[in-house]
Amino acid sequence: MHELSITQSVVDAVCERAAGRPVRTVRLRVGALTAVVPDAMRFCFDLTTAGTVAEGALLEIDQPPGTAHCRACERDFTLTDLVLLCPCGSADVNITSGRELQIVSMRVG
């Protein structure tokens, strides 16, 4: 379960940035191609925030789909799974989104 170590890193960064102020909401962008399971991350968030300024904070996760660009046919398309094939059948694709894992915002106070 790599979600635990990822979530711990997120919580560490959030708590450092909060500088002692209580954290109310944390919003993340976790791309669909990261292999991070949002429900597992939510569970880990509750565990890793215990006893910190982020305890009780709401975790919001946006999960944008994976997208790619085909070099063969020049088409941009949405990836429906981890199979990196263009609808034209080409495997000559460049992933353009879906691998991001970012802290988008946090609300303190």
| Integer-rounded Cα radius of gyration of the chain | 17
pTM: 0.86
Q: Both tokens of residue 108?
A: 């303190």
pLDDT band at 1 (very low <50, low <70, confident <90, very high): low
Share of the chain above pLDDT 90, in %: 93
Per-residue model confidence as pLDDT tens digits over 66-93: 999 999 999 999 997 778 899 999 999 9
Q: Do 10 and 18 form a contact (C-beta atoms < 8 A)? A: no
Domain 3-108 fold: hypothetical protein PF0899 fold (3.30.2320)
In the annotated binding site for Zn(2+), the residues are 70, 73, 86, 88
In the annotated binding site, the residues are 2, 70, 73, 86, 88
In the annotated binding site for Ni(2+), the residues are 2
Domain spans of the chain? Answer: 3-108
